Chains A and B, each alone.
Chain A
Amino acid sequence: MEIAIVKYNAGNIQSVLYALERIGATATVTDDLDVLRKADKIIFPGVGEASTAMQYLRERKLDQLIKELQQPVLGICLGMQLMCTHSAENDTVCLGIFEEYVQSFHSLKAGLPEAEQHNYKIPQMGWNTITDLRTPLFEGVPENSYCYFVHGYYAAIGPDTIATTDYLKPYSSALHRNNFYGVQFHPEKSAGVGEQILKNFIEKI
């Protein structure tokens, strides 16, 4: 099986590659449109800022390519957010694969009473639970499993939601539409739970 990891200007892509190696899979990190088109599975990772990442994708025509992919695609963190319709991070139009909108934790925090605000650091950084798990992506993953999150923006709950996490309010920690999946957390850094989810993406989807 050919697994391709989309190479672009966002984040720690090596970690995803090494996590795949730990579960016995190999992958190619590439921004070559032909290699991506022919791969059996695509992982679209990313940590960074939405508008810069979208601009980079457009310049290399990766935006159009990702939208047209027919094989299973897994977006991770910023990758998942870029697959949504729009991000409040610098008012960025995204790929529109998922119909959800990406919003800022800051606006939620500003709405809290002042005494409670210090309980919520932004970005959310650390381990939180995932619940209401759906699709084979989460096969064998117990409800309320812990995953590792680092993000200041979140996708709202919507028709594509397949996992929910609560920080300031419940939001989508995973999304699914057709052949596209996205997770807000970092499966490559989420210990055994994350490895199970990556394994499921490779074997069950």
Chain B
Amino acid sequence: MLTKRIIPCLDIKDGRTVKGTNFVDLRDAGDPVELGRLYAEQGADELVFLDITATVEKRKTLSELVNRISHQINIPFTVGGGISSVEDVSLLLQNGADKISVNTAAFKRPALIAELAKQFGSQCVVLAIDTRLEEDGEWYVYLNGGRTKTDRRCIDWAEEAVALGAGEILLTSMNHDGTKQGFALDITGTLANRLPVPVIASGGGGTVEHFVDVFQKAQADAALAASIFHFKEVAIPDLKNSLAASGIPVRIG
């Protein structure tokens, strides 16, 4: 049976992992390659490396890091942050990334998704969406790491992106990110049930029960978290054993 995936996310700045609370206040949590390898040994199903300071000048540094990661880590990993062209993606894939995630650049120029899917296949194109529930009861897309609001509804953008060739959606609820109060079950469930591609839930996972809920109540295909793993508040082996005990298919051993 296909299992639900647990994905630690490593935010990268200047070659080190960091994790913000609601996208600000960064804290240092170690070397990305070492930490990634540790997570792989503990049973993480995939890893996400998000370069939060990615700029054109930093591109080479990022591809070198990706190369180190792919030499040393034996599970799939996604790289994101500031990716805006076929050339960016080509460099990262050549250095061993399995998938790349796009966010702001794809929203500004949706044809990028189609170009990437055509060139490299949908299976390696992850669309990351940062979304916030507004007072009108709708979830809207935010850009630039959550700093810029748009008028586009999350579900509309997700459906358009999948039609263009996005192979997976990484959905972060800004209302929940950093709170450790649980994932956004409603919007995650809406996307997971409406879209034909896998949905990775992100933002708010703080306890084992939160992960049980996002898989059982929101039908997420995968769940992503960062600081609770980095600061050992939830250990991946314990998490997976608890999920299995709740009847959720997970990879153990």
Contact = CB atoms under 8 A, between A and B. Distances in A.
A159 interface: no
Given A121-B197, A189-B76, A189-B98, A126 B1 contact: no
B168 A125 contact: yes
A122 B251 CA distance: 20
B221 A189 contact: no
Contacts of B3: 126-128, 146
B210 to A, nearest CB: 20
A12 B121 CA distance: 11
B193 interface: yes
A12 B74 contact: no
Given A123-B167, A126-B222, A12 B98 contact: yes
27 contacts: A12-B98, A14-B70, A14-B95, A18-B70, A18-B71, A18-B96, A21-B71, A22-B74, A47-B121, A49-B121, A123-B167, A125-B167, A126-B2, A126-B3, A126-B4, A126-B45, A126-B222, A127-B251, A128-B2, A129-B1, A146-B3, A149-B2, A150-B123, A190-B74, A190-B75, A192-B74, A195-B74
A83 B95 CA distance: 27
A148 B75 contact: yes
A194 B93 contact: no
Interface in A158-203: 166-167, 186, 188-192, 194-195
A83 B163 CA distance: 30
A146 B251 contact: yes
B219 A118 contact: yes
Interface in B114-173: 121-124, 167-168
- List of 5 A-B pairs having minimum Cβ-Cβ separation, nearest first: A146-B251, A127-B251, A14-B96, A189-B76, A121-B198
B196 interface: yes
A40 B173 CA distance: 52
Interface string A130-161: 00000000000000001011100000000000
Contacts of A76: none
A74 interface: no
Q: In the complex, which of the residues B5, B40, B123, B253 has the most CB atoms of chain A within 10 Å of its own CB atom? A: B123
B187 to A, nearest CB: 16
Interface string A37-80: 00000000001110000000000000000000000000000000
B64 to A, nearest CB: 14
Secondary structure of the A side of the interface?
Answer: mixed
Interface string B40-74: 10000100000000000000000000000011101
A124 interface: yes
A191 B198 contact: no
B192 interface: yes
B21 interface: no
Contact of A148 (B1, B76, B96): B76
A30 interface: no
B216 interface: no
Interface string A77-89: 0000000000000
A26 interface: no
A94 interface: no
A91 B71 CA distance: 36
B198 A189 contact: no
B94 interface: yes
B49 to A, nearest CB: 15
A19 interface: yes
Given A123-B123, A128-B2, A191 B40 contact: yes
Given A127-B251, A128-B1, A146-B3, A48 B121 contact: yes
Given A49-B121, A125-B198, A127-B45, A167 B2 contact: yes
Interface string B166-194: 01100000000000000000000000110
Given A15-B98, A148-B76, A192-B74, 20 more contacts: A14-B70, A15-B96, A21-B71, A22-B72, A47-B123, A47-B124, A48-B121, A118-B193, A118-B219, A123-B122, A123-B167, A125-B168, A126-B198, A128-B1, A146-B253, A148-B75, A166-B1, A189-B74, A190-B74, A191-B40
A128 B4 CA distance: 10
